[in-house]
Every structure is written in structure tokens, then in C-alpha cells.
A and B are shown apart, each in its own frame.
Chain A
Amino acid sequence: METVLNFIQENQQIIYIVILMVFLGIEIIGKVPSVLHTPLMSGANAIHGVVIIGAIIVMGKAEADNYLALILGFLAVILGTLNVVGGFVVTDRMLEMFKKKK
């Protein structure tokens, strides 16, 4: 019990962020028209590519003799970049087509 309370005390900032973000995430896309479901999903897909930052940190911290960390970290950076770059480019391509509307 005490551990749980301590955990909440120590991480209260993060817990606040999580709760606020959950409500914000629901609130901001609440009125999306169904036409935009696919691009919105694709855009959100690109945004969670922010996980790349974790990959960069892991990669940048890996010791020169820790081959496991180096190789997996390198893979993680590639995969994360694919997610980010591919995600944004695909979304842009989809939305480019909507652009022709006047």
C-alpha cells in the first residue's frame, strides 16, 4: 500500500499529464467527419512515431562493446524513423487529394 502511495506521490506530475492527455485526446477529435477517419488515423499513426526519441536515447547511450544494445538500438532507430517519416508522408499524400476540393 505504502509503495503505491509513494509511487503516486513521486510521479504525480506524470499522472496529471496522462489524465489530462486522455481527456484532451478524446476532446480534440470528437467532431471528426467520417471522411477524415482514414487520414486522421494515419496522422495519429505518425505522431506515435515519437517513440523514435526513446530509440535515439537508447542508441546514443549504448556502450561501444554492448553489441546487443547497438544492434537492437540501430534497428529501433530505423523502425521508428520508418514510422515517423512514412506516416507523415502517407498522410500528406492522402490529404493532398482532398486539397482539390474548393
Chain B
Amino acid sequence: MEALAQHILTICYLIGSITFILGLKMLSNPASARKGNLVAAAGMAIAIFGTIFLYKDDSGAKLHNYPWIFGGLIIGTIVGTLAAKKVKMTAMPEMVSLFNGMGGACAMLISVIEFNHASHSLSEFPAEQSGLLLTIFLGVIIGSVSFAGSIIAWGKLNGKIKDFAFLGQQIANMVLMVCTLILAGYLTFNLTASNYHLFYLVLALSLVYGILFVFPIGGADMPVVISLLNSFTGVAAACGGFLYNNKVMLTGGILVGAAGTLLTILMCKAMNRSLKNVLIGSFGGAKKTAGGGSKEQGSYKEISISDAATVMAYANRVMIVPGYGLAVAQAQHTCHELEKLLEEKGVEVKYAIHPVAGRMPGHMNVLLAEADVSYEKLLEMEDANDVFKSTDVVLILGANDVVNPAAKNDPSSPIYGMPILEVEQAKTVIVNKRSMKPGYAGIENDLFFQPKTSMLFGDAKAALQQLVTEIKSM
């Protein structure tokens, strides 16, 4: 009977590991993604409840403190569900970051508690404990970096924390990390009753490193950073798996660590940036070398709301290019309204979606789907580029770098080589922006100065509302 419980737990963990693998696999295919998420969630539930009721430690003792465990589970479930349900679609990225930070903090706390256990029995095994200490130190360092970094990323994404960098910060970060690792390495093999409190110094240094690591990185690069921290937390969870010789934690953690790292690289690729560039933030530096690019520009022309409305209402085909500006202004519903109105007037309306438009890759699709824009109207970049030639009006809503022709024809530009939406092939281009300020890459956009382009300044939502009223009254 006793042995049976352990066998069942092993099977629970096995099921958990398999569902994680299947879930991730299904998540990477649009048709099965939602089911994949549920499969992984079901496996997680089996692993959690299996642990609560069936787990026994090496000495055969069952778990106790059930009120505490269930209390924590219930609080976490209620708060987590509410937060996840209430959050606006535009705030999704920072929510993911926050949850990721929670996971990192959890791994950090586990290591702290286990270290306390271990430090009580210091004198008993001096050398044999090194393996245990190594996993504890790894868990606390990775967990803390992930926790602190995620919280900063969260703060940056919702605008609470501004970019902050000081001279030599990269070097300071390096030094900090090396010091932390050396200290942790030393303690792993030489922990004594007199120096064990240095563990908390490692903890503190890791937290500081996490903060400094994310601080100088620009807000638009945050998705990449969150993805990276996500894989960190995966590794921290795997450290827990080492600690308890727990296969489901190990497989789940490593799986996320590996997949997260690849996903980070894929995201960078979609934005045509290298991971190194993101982490060191070389766009600032590149701007100076590409100084020749910001040569004297011609003048741009503005267009009034009523003119813009007329041009669009009498066009045959209008393409809308949504970008970061639309996401920030939360204008997806107004945008859909404009689209319906134009369709009623017999105008064909389509959306051209750049893979990295919005705050995260794929974010635009999610936002527009939220506003009930039908899927057939969303054109991927390749298809959109074929259609631009026969398009009368392109309406750009807060997108900049993804329509910058410099990516195609200016080899000195920092975004040279990035695939773009070739909007300049259309007859007319209307650009809605808040000001003439350059986009995230910090470079000028020739498109704005072309004769066929006119600027419609203002907040995306306000501009769209005015356009809607104007077209209605026509």
C-alpha cells in the first residue's frame, strides 16, 4: 500500500512531464495552441495534487502543514485568476513578466529555506554537501536575477520605471556578476559555520545584478528580455528538481530553459537584432556611426482629418498598418469601427501585420482579434507586400521602423536588412503619429518626407475617432 502510493506519484510526475512536452509542442502550432495550454495545465494539476497527497521524503515521512499549503494555493489561485482575467490585452506583456518574477521569487525562497536546513547540519558532512550547495546557490542566484529583472521589466513596460544607465554600467554589471559567481563558488566548497551568512550577500548581489541588468535596456526590447528571464526561471526551477531529485521539476524546468532560450533568439531574429545588441543596447551607439543617414531631410506635409477621411472613403482599397502607437493608445476597437464604416461605403479594407508590430511579436494579431477584426483581413508581411501595389491608401497607425524604406536601401542604417512593409508602393500614404520624433530605433524615416506621404498628427485613438465621425457625416 505504502509502496503503491509512491508508484502512483511517479506516474503522476511522468504524466506531468509528458503533458509539458506535448503542451509546448501544441503551443507552437496555431491550430492546437489553446488545447496545448490546457493539456499542460492539466498535467500541472496532476503533478501538484500528486505531490500534496502522495509525496514522502527519503525517511518516509509524509508532508504536513496542509492548512498552510492549501491556504497558499487558494490565495495564489484567486489572486492569479483575477489578475489574469482583469488585465487589459495591451498590458499582457507586463503581466507575463510579473508572473515570471513570481516564479523566480518562488525558486529563490526554496533555495533560502533549503540553505537554512543545510547550514544547520554543516559540521556533519563538509565535502559531500558540495553538490547540494551548488544547486542551492544556482537556484538562489538564477531565481533572484529572474525575480528582480522581471519586476524591473514589469515596471518599465507599464511606464513606472524610466530607462536608466550610467557610464560604465556594462563593466559594473560584469564585475558584479563575476564577484557573485566567485563568492558562490568559494562558499560551495568552503562553507563553514563562520562564513555561512555570506549566503545572504550572494542573494543580495544577485538581486542587485538582476536590477542593473534590465535597467538600461529599452522598453521596446522588453519582450526579448522577458523571454530570456523566462528561460532563467526555467533553469531555476530545474535546480529545484536537482535538489529534490524530482523529475517533473527537472524536465519542466530544463524544457522551458531550452525552449525559452531558442524563443528569445527567434524573437531577436524577427526584429533583425542580435541578442548581444539587445542586451548592450547598441542602437544608441549605431546612431552616431550612421550619422550620414540623418542628412538634411525635405519637408513633410500634413493632412487634415476631413481630407484624410475623404481620401479613404473614396478609395477602392485601404490598407491599415497598425503599430506600437495603436497598442499604446488602445485604439484597436476604434480601428475596427473605422474599418466597418469604410466597408459599408464599399471600400476594401485590409490590415498589414508586420511580425514584430506592437509590443511583442504577434501582439497585434491578439489585439485586433480582441476587437473582433476577422482573421481574413489580417495579411502577413509577404502577402501584404504583394497587395500594396494595388492599394490606394495606406493608413499607418503609430508604426515607424517596420515601414522605414532605409531597411531596404540604406546599408548604413542600423535596421538595414530588416524585412519591412513596402508601403511606399501604394498610391497614397497617411501616417498617424504623435509627433515627428523618430521611432524606437532612433533613426529618421524617409517615408515621411516622400511626396505621396502625408502626416496626420495626434493620438491614434483620437485621430481614429475623428475620422469615424467625419466619414459618418459624409
Contact = CB atoms under 8 A, between A and B. Distances in A.
Interface string A64-102: 100011101111111111111111111111111111111
A102 B378 CA distance: 13
Interface string B1-40: 0000000000000001000110111011110011011101
Given A78-B75, A91-B27, 20 more contacts: A25-B254, A35-B355, A38-B366, A39-B362, A39-B366, A42-B92, A43-B40, A46-B99, A47-B40, A51-B236, A57-B244, A69-B113, A73-B109, A74-B68, A77-B68, A77-B73, A79-B106, A80-B76, A92-B41, A101-B375
Contacts of B66: 60
B24 A58 contact: no
Contacts of A43: 23-24, 27, 33, 36-37, 40
A61 B63 contact: yes
Contact of B109 (A55, A86, A92): A55
Contacts of B178: none
20 contacts: A21-B251, A25-B255, A28-B28, A32-B27, A37-B263, A38-B92, A38-B93, A41-B226, A48-B100, A55-B110, A59-B69, A60-B52, A79-B102, A80-B102, A81-B72, A82-B80, A83-B100, A92-B41, A98-B366, A101-B30
B344 interface: no
B365 interface: yes
B307 interface: no
Nearest to B147: A79
A5 interface: no
B268 to A, nearest CB: 11
A41 B77 contact: no
Given A25-B262, A26-B259, A92-B34, A47 B44 contact: yes
Interface string B70-113: 01110111011101110101001101101110110111011011
B34 A96 contact: yes
B325 interface: no
B41 A78 contact: no
A97 to B, nearest CB: 4
Interface string B185-224: 0000000000000000000000000000000000000010
A25 B256 contact: yes
A40 to B, nearest CB: 5
B44 A50 contact: yes
Contacts, number: 384
A17 B242 CA distance: 11
Interface string B322-366: 000000000000000000000000000000000110001111011
B416 interface: no
Counting chain A residues whose Cβ lies within 8 A of the other chain, the interface size class is: 35 or more
A68 B112 CA distance: 10
Contacts of B370: 97
B414 interface: no
B28 A82 contact: no
A21 to B, nearest CB: 4
B76 A85 contact: yes
Contacts of B355: 34-35
Interface in A1-57: 3, 7, 11, 14, 17-18, 21-26, 28-57
Nearest to B32: A95
A84 to B, nearest CB: 6
Given A51-B253, A54-B246, A86-B102, A41 B80 contact: no
Contact of B95 (A51, A59, A75, A86): A86
A75 B21 CA distance: 28
Contacts of A62: 65, 68, 113
B51 interface: yes
A86 B80 contact: yes
Contacts of B103: 45, 48-49, 51, 79-80, 83, 87
A41 B260 contact: yes
B255 A47 contact: yes
A89 B34 CA distance: 11
A41 B72 contact: no
Given A18-B250, A89-B85, A79 B109 contact: yes
A78 B245 contact: no
B55 interface: yes
B369 interface: yes
A33 B361 CA distance: 10
Q: Quick one: which of A18, A24, A52 has the most chain B CB within 10 A?
A: A52
Contacts of A32: 27-29, 263, 266
A32 B36 CA distance: 13
Q: Quick one: which of B65, B262, B361 has the most chain A CB within 10 A?
A: B65
B124 interface: no
Contact of A83 (B68, B102, B255): B102
